[in-house]
Amino acid sequence: MTTLIDQTAPKLTPKDFVSDQDVRWCPGCGDYSILKQVQTVLPDLGRPKEEFVFVSGIGCSSRFPYYMDTYGMHSIHGRAAAIATGLKSSRPELSVWMISGDGDSLSIGGNHFIHLLRRNLDINVLLFNNQIYGLTKGQYSPTSEKGKVTKSTPMGSIDHPFNPIALSMGADATFVARTMDRDPKHIQQMIRRGYEHTGTSLIEIYQNCNVFNDGAFEVFTEKTSKKNETLFIENGQPLIFGDNSDKGIILDGFKPKVVDLTQGYSASDCWVHDEQDQVKANILARFFDNPSIEGHLPRPFGVFYAIERPTYNDLLNQQIAYAIEKNGEGNLDKLIAGKETWTIN
């Protein structure tokens, strides 16, 4: 086992991040691709691997840490955010990653999720959204579309689903992005961006569960429909999509509209993406129609929003440092004695 303190140590490769455990997802599961992309990006980040910690909850996706040859914890359902918060607050120098599913983070773990976002701990959150409970064999999840027929909803689900991007914006997240299992390059890009962001980076990843919810994201991932149904957003770039980059988004007042760039509109008419604009990020978040609806908007992928705000871990550790600076390191005898003592001889 190589020791990696040495800065001149050989550069890490993806293989260094592969653990000795058999990967046990169903053949064809979208989780494989995400695992691979993470293992691809990590060696490039220039950090020794002992500094990475992957914390997950419970769910198919949450098995992830077992497959990474880093530190890791497969915890309990919904609580990864809280565990990661404790770890990052007390060990701010570590690179902490949270792996979770739509059930894990938006159902049982919803509260920790929104609190993590508002506190803005410097943690990278990969939210595997397959719009289903995979591990428990196919009940609907808080991101499943209304009307979905599953084992627990034989007459169709009646829950209005969460829009994870909108929810994250409402919880004052400082970094919000979306990507998909079938676009390796894009996942890698998003993971890198998330890593570079100081604060909680929420990356929603559309992930196909080919056993219980196959094809949920097909229109976004399949070659035939992808270009017309997805909108890849990049900071400073106009919102353009379509088979031949022939469609654009303009804002008509506050209403986004699709325009045809071959018919009178040009790229310069289009809305230019600004990652720091909260209002516009909120509008983009609402590009969330069912793709079967006439006149629907394409689904955005990329970084919706990214701003800087002090992190909870920094603030906490600054208070510690300041307290020591101001009062000196704690003196146990003084503490125990308190303000008033008396002596008996």
Partner 1 sequence: METAEEQILESVVIRFAGDSGDGMQLTGTQFTNAAALYGNDLATFPDFPAEIRAPQGTLAGVSGYQIHFGSKKINTPGDTCDVLVAMNVAALKANIGQLKIGGTIIVNSDGFDSKNLRLANVPEDQNPLENGSLDKYEVKKLDITKITRLALADSGMGTKEIDRSKNMFVLGLIYWMYNRSIDKSIEFINSKFKNKPQIAEANIKLLKAGYHYGETTETFNARYEVKPAEMAPGVYRSIMGNEALAYGLVAASVKSKLPIFLGTYPITPASDILHELSKYKNFGVRTFQAEDEIAGVCAAIGASYGGSIGITTSSGPGIALKMEAIGLATVLELPLVICNIQRGGPSTGLPTKTEQSDLMQALYGRNGECPVPVIAAATPSDCFNMAFEAVRIAAQHMIPVFLLSDGYIANGAEPWCFPQSKDLPEIKIDFAKPTEEKFMPYARDEKLSRPWAVPGTPGLEHRIGGLEKQHITGNISYDAHNHEFMVKLRQEKVDKLADDIPLQTIDNGAEKADVLIIGWGSTYGAIKTAVNALLLDGKSVAHAHIRYLNPLPKNIGELLKNYNKVLVAEMNNGQLIKILRDRFLVDAIGLNKIQGQPFTTEEIKNKLSEILG
Residues that bind ligand SF4 in the complex, under the rule CB under 6 A: 25-26, 29, 31, 60, 130, 134, 209-212
Strand residues in 144-298 grouped as ranges (E):
175-180, 201-206, 230-233, 240-241, 247-252, 255-260
- Footprint of partner 1 on 227-286 (CB under 8 A): none
Minimum distance of partner 1 from residue 8's CB (angstroms) = 14
- Provide the token pair at 213: 């919810």
What is the H or E stretch that residue 126 is in?
Answer: strand 123-129
| Closer residue to a second copy, CB minimum distance, 17 or 271 | 271
Binding mask of the shown chain, residues 89 to 128, with x at each position contacting Mg ion by CB under 5 A: ------------xxx-------------------------
Within 10 A of 301 (CB to CB), how many other CB atoms are there? 22
Minimum distance of partner 1 from residue 299's CB (angstroms) = 25
| Closer residue to ligand SF4, CB minimum distance, 24 or 146 | 24
148 DSSP assignment: -
- Footprint of a second copy on 121-150 (CB under 8 A): 142
Minimum distance of Mg ion from residue 141's CB (angstroms) = 5
From partner 1, ligand TPP, Mg ion, none, interface partner of 104 (C-beta below 5 to 8 A by class): ligand TPP
Query: From CA 169, how far away is CA 173, in angstroms rounded?
Result: 5
| Closer residue to a second copy, CB minimum distance, 13 or 322 | 322
Contact region with ligand TPP (CB under 6 A), list: 135-143, 162-170, 280-288, 310-318: 135-143
Among 52, 113, 128, 304, contact with ligand TPP (rule: CB under 6 A):
128
Query: From CA 276, how far away is CA 280, in angstroms rounded?
Result: 9
Query: From CA 54, how far away is CA 150, in angstroms rounded?
Result: 31
What is the H or E stretch that residue 116 is in?
Answer: helix 110-119
Among 81, 104, 127, 162, contact with ligand TPP (rule: CB under 6 A):
104
Among 82, 87, 169, 209, contact with a second copy (rule: CB under 8 A):
169
| Phi, psi dihedrals of residue 288, rounded to the nearest 5° | -145, 20
Query: From CA 320, how far away is CA 192, in angstroms rounded?
Result: 30
The answer to whether residues 19 and 65 touch, using CB atoms and an 8 Å cutoff, is no
Q: Is 59 in the site for ligand TPP (CB under 6 A)?
A: yes
Q: Is 23 in the site for partner 1 (CB under 8 A)?
A: yes
Task: Tell me which amino acid residue 7 is.
Answer: Q
| Closer residue to partner 1, CB minimum distance, 25 or 175 | 25
| Closer residue to ligand TPP, CB minimum distance, 110 or 256 | 110
- Footprint of a second copy on 170-199 (CB under 8 A): 170-172
- Footprint of ligand TPP on 285-344 (CB under 6 A): none
CA quadruple 267, 271, 277, 278: dihedral sign: negative
199: left (phi over 0), alpha (psi -120 to 50) or beta: left
| Phi, psi dihedrals of residue 336, rounded to the nearest 5° | -65, -40
| Closer residue to ligand TPP, CB minimum distance, 102 or 183 | 102
Taking only Cα atoms into account, the Rg of the chain, rounded to an integer number of angstroms, comes to 23
Q: Which residue is associated with the tokens 């609806």?
A: 293
Binding mask of the shown chain, residues 311 to 330, with x at each position contacting partner 1 by CB under 8 A: -----x--xx-xxx-xxxxx
The answer to whether residues 24 and 67 touch, using CB atoms and an 8 Å cutoff, is no
Which parts of this chain interact with a second copy (CB under 8 A)? 108-111, 114-115, 118-120, 142, 155, 158-163, 166-172, 254, 277-280, 282-283, 286, 309-310, 312, 315-316, 319, 322-323
Which parts of this chain interact with ligand TPP (CB under 6 A)? 58-61, 77, 101-104, 128, 130, 132-136, 141
